[in-house]
Chain A
Amino acid sequence: MNTKTAKIAKPRKNALVMFIHKMGSPPWFYNFTGKFIPWLWLIFGVLAAWGLYLGLVKGPADYLQGESVRIIYLHVPAAWMSMLIYSTMAVMAFIALVWRIRIVEILAMTSAPIGAAFTIVTLTAGSLWGRPTWGTYWVWDARLTSELVLLFLYLGVIGLYNAIDEPRKAARAACLLSLVGAVNLPIIHYSVKWWNTLHQGSSISLLGGSSIDASILWPMLIVAVAAKFFYAANLLTRARVKLLEQDMRKGWVRDVLKEKN
């Protein structure tokens, strides 16, 4: 037993392990992320303004869908984000569960409300677009239904995290749930898609299925990249607050607060 312990005690550290190890230290994480969070917000602001300007002001209206097509600049990037954030959360949840790194737990758990918000934006934008296009706010379209189930998955993770008192236990439970959800998500997605064709539901794509014109594509891609910066900036800002809150009575937080004053 003892020889084994001695061997584990001194692992050879490569750069990546060192980085993860450092990121796992709360004060280091706090200070390191503090340096570039303002930049993330700035890049987000510039990209979002540029993309939305191109899409909402300069871009042409669709000859079939009219002005309502402009919802695409919100709907599609939000839909991508809702799925991207869920998979990011699941990957972080896996890391958090296996290596018990508290900061990764926090990152996974603060991802959930952001992802849920993007899902709600997707659903709202989708039904607002549906009103002029389909003549109704809600249609059990495959994409919208998938998004709705995704929202329930997010709400489950958030609900479980908030229901359990002890924060580390709550995070571990919610991380496990998000992993279970991630395993099920592709199955849910394909079964809903297939269910939709089975019942001959409407599956008019927002993108029309045809090739997208560059005048629509570029602004949309710019907003999509902006959304990723928004996620990163929002996530890190929230995670830092959460970290301060959790370590309220630890020495490094006192030092941080002293510096601020």
Chain B
Amino acid sequence: MTWSFMLSASQIVFERYFEPVFLPVNFSLGGGELLLVTGANGCGKTTLIRVLAGILYPTSGKIDNGFGAMAYVGHYLGIKDDLSVLENLRFMRDFLGTSKRSCKDVIELVGLSRVAEQQARTLSAGQRKRCALARLLVSESRLWLLDEPYSNLDLEGVELVDRMLTHHLESGGACVLATHGAHRPDWKNTHDCHLVSGASI
């Protein structure tokens, strides 16, 4: 199998308060590949993901994203409390202009059917996470950027993430996943990116 899409990063540096957050990062990631970003607390996993997402502008280095549209699940989930789960997803679908999948099916897949019509404010932390994961499926992006996707999830939820991930990678997608390491997804094409805090030099 050959995938023509690539995400490559060369010598990525991001400075905050005039200190590099992490040592320069290099990698390239093709379709069907998973990049595991690991490292101690404060080494800049979230920062790197946000740089890759285009939210932060790297101080130096170059990012080439051949995948096109990205989907991102971060610490702030981007769920509106005043909208129901279904409304949240429908908005994202309309906003992104993706319509292949029905929102109800996606909600069932992430196990939120029972609360689909409830306002998001009533959800538990784990349910909110599932709602954000559902957005990944609605977005139909080839590149996923996941920042600590396992946090707040129960065992079943962790399995759900792994299942979604496997399906995404099998169908040629790619994923950058930051985790502090309690759980490692199992996938054959996994690259490791161990971040080292920039303060260590």
A249 CA to B19 CA in the complex, in Å?
9
Of the listed residues A1, A100, A246, A247, the one surrounded by the most CB atoms of chain B closer than 10 A to its CB is: A1
CB-based contact A1/B66 at 8 Å: yes
A163 CA to B18 CA in the complex, in Å?
18
> Using Cβ atoms and an 8 Å threshold, which residues of chain B touch A167?
17-18
CB-based contact A5/B62 at 8 Å: yes
Write the A235-260 contact mask toward B (1 if CB under 8 angstroms, else 0).
Answer: 00000000000111110000000000
Write the B43-58 contact mask toward A (1 if CB under 8 angstroms, else 0).
Answer: 0000000000000010
Which residue of B is nearest A4, CB measured?
B64
A247 CA to B18 CA in the complex, in Å?
7
Tell yes or no: A166 within 8 A of B by CB.
yes
A25 CA to B15 CA in the complex, in Å?
16
Tell yes or no: B114 within 8 A of A by CB.
no
Which residue of A is nearest B199, CB measured?
A249
A227 CA to B120 CA in the complex, in Å?
61
A166 CA to B15 CA in the complex, in Å?
10
> Using Cβ atoms and an 8 Å threshold, which residues of chain A touch B15?
168
CB-based contact A249/B18 at 8 Å: yes
A183 CA to B123 CA in the complex, in Å?
47
CB-based contact A246/B18 at 8 Å: yes
> Using Cβ atoms and an 8 Å threshold, which residues of chain B touch A249?
18-19
Tell yes or no: B183 within 8 A of A by CB.
no
A250 CA to B17 CA in the complex, in Å?
12
A164 to chain B, nearest CB (A): 12
A17 CA to B62 CA in the complex, in Å?
22
> Using Cβ atoms and an 8 Å threshold, which residues of chain B touch A247?
18
CB-based contact A166/B16 at 8 Å: yes
Which residue of A is nearest B8, CB measured?
A1
CB-based contact B18/A1 at 8 Å: no
A100 CA to B57 CA in the complex, in Å?
10
A243 CA to B18 CA in the complex, in Å?
11
> Using Cβ atoms and an 8 Å threshold, which residues of chain B touch A1?
64, 66
> Using Cβ atoms and an 8 Å threshold, which residues of chain A touch B18?
167, 246-250
8 Å CB contacts to B: which residues of A211-242?
Answer: none
A168 CA to B66 CA in the complex, in Å?
29
Write the B138-153 contact mask toward A (1 if CB under 8 angstroms, else 0).
Answer: 0000000000000000
Write the B11-26 contact mask toward A (1 if CB under 8 angstroms, else 0).
Answer: 0000111110000000
A167 CA to B15 CA in the complex, in Å?
11
B90 to chain A, nearest CB (A): 34
A5 CA to B62 CA in the complex, in Å?
9
B21 to chain A, nearest CB (A): 12
A182 CA to B15 CA in the complex, in Å?
29
Of the listed residues B16, B18, B66, the one surrounded by the most CB atoms of chain A closer than 10 A to its CB is: B18
B39 to chain A, nearest CB (A): 21
> Using Cβ atoms and an 8 Å threshold, which residues of chain A touch B57?
100
Which residue of A is nearest B16, CB measured?
A166
8 Å CB contacts to A: which residues of B127-170?
Answer: none
> Using Cβ atoms and an 8 Å threshold, which residues of chain A touch B66?
1
A1 CA to B16 CA in the complex, in Å?
29
> Using Cβ atoms and an 8 Å threshold, which residues of chain A touch B19?
249
Add 12 more A-B contacts to A1-B64, A167-B17, A168-B15 (CB < 8 A): A1-B66, A5-B62, A100-B57, A166-B16, A166-B17, A167-B18, A246-B18, A247-B18, A248-B18, A249-B18, A249-B19, A250-B18
15 A-B pairs (CB sep. < 8 Å): A1-B64, A1-B66, A5-B62, A100-B57, A166-B16, A166-B17, A167-B17, A167-B18, A168-B15, A246-B18, A247-B18, A248-B18, A249-B18, A249-B19, A250-B18
- Pick the 8 closest A-B CB pairs, nearest first: A1-B64, A246-B18, A166-B16, A247-B18, A166-B17, A5-B62, A167-B17, A249-B19
